[in-house]
Amino acid sequence: MSTTLEDARAFALALPETTEVDHHGIPSFRVQGRIFATVPDAEHLRIMVDEDGIHAAVAEHAAACPELYWGKRLACVVVELAAIAPEPLRELLIEAWFQKAPTALARAFAGQRTGTAP
């Protein structure tokens, strides 16, 4: 099952304190001003997870998730929306969100997901 840009947008904007803001002419998803994903076109999403997350996404979803270097730095994973199921995309967005969210906000959200207090 593939995922649409509308699905991706809904997943991202459902995360706490996420906003969609222009970033040099393309949409970006941010948590308290920190970018965790961008939309270069209607078929792709760039998700800013750490290097381990990038390597894991590429290993698990090679056809849908090539890595992207910014200069010599491994910057993000580029997700081909039509080639990935909704749940793995959602999990990548959550992972990227956690890496950019302020600690207190991330703890509170983690507590909501597990049913425990932050």
Give the residue numbers spanning the domain of 74.
Answer: 5-103
Task: Provide the number of structural domains found in the chain.
Answer: 1
The answer as to whether 80 is a domain residue is yes
The answer as to whether 114 is a domain residue is no
pLDDT in the model for residue 91: 95
pLDDT in the model for residue 115: 55
The answer as to whether 47 is a domain residue is yes
Q: Kindly report the pTM of this predicted structure.
A: 0.90
The answer as to whether 113 is a domain residue is no
The answer as to whether 109 is a domain residue is no
The answer as to whether 15 is a domain residue is yes
pLDDT digits (tens, 9 = 90+) for 40-69: 999 999 999 999 999 999 999 998 999 999
The answer as to whether 112 is a domain residue is no
Reference 4, options 67, 77, 90; nearest CA is 90
Give pLDDT tens digits along the chain (118 positions). 689 999 999 999 999 999 999 999 999 999 999 999 999 999 999 999 999 999 999 999 998 999 999 899 998 999 999 999 999 999 999 999 999 999 999 999 988 765 554 4
CATH number at residue 86: 3.90.1150.30
pLDDT in the model for residue 112: 77
The answer as to whether 97 is a domain residue is yes
